[in-house]
Amino acid sequence: MSRLDVFINRMVSQRACLDHAAAATAHLEGPVFELGLGNGRTYHHMRETMGTRPIFVFERAVAAHPDSTPPDDMLILGDVRTTLPRALKRFGPTVALIHADLGGHNLEKNDAFARLVSPLIEPLLATGGLMVSSDRMYFDRLKEQPLPADAVPGRCFIYG
Residues binding ligand SAM (CB under 6 A): 36-42, 58-61, 79-81, 101-102
Provide, rounded to whole angstroms, the least separation between the CB of residue 89 and ligand SAM. 18
Nearer to ligand SAM, 30 or 36 (CB): 36
Q: How many residues does the chain have?
A: 160
Which residue's C-beta sits nearest to ligand SAM? 38
Provide, rounded to whole angstroms, the least separation between the CB of residue 152 and ligand SAM. 16
Contact predicate 135/114, CB 8 Å: yes
Provide, rounded to whole angstroms, the least separation between the CB of residue 117 and ligand SAM. 8
Give alpha helix (H) positions in the chain.
3-24, 41-49, 80-91, 107-121
Nearer to ligand SAM, 7 or 128 (CB): 7
Nearer to ligand SAM, 79 or 144 (CB): 79
Contact predicate 62/37, CB 8 Å: yes
Provide, rounded to whole angstroms, the least separation between the CB of residue 40 and ligand SAM. 5
Other C-beta atoms closer than 10 Å to the C-beta of 70 total 19
Q: How many CA atoms lie less than 13 Å away from 91 in the CB half-sphere? A: 28
**Which residues are paired to 132 by β-bridges?**
99, 158
Contacts with 149 (C-beta within 8 Å, 6 or more apart), sequence order: 16
Provide, rounded to whole angstroms, the least separation between the CB of residue 145 and ligand SAM. 20
Query: Would you call 99 helix, strand, or coil by DSSP?
Result: strand
Nearer to ligand SAM, 24 or 87 (CB): 87
Nearer to ligand SAM, 41 or 136 (CB): 41
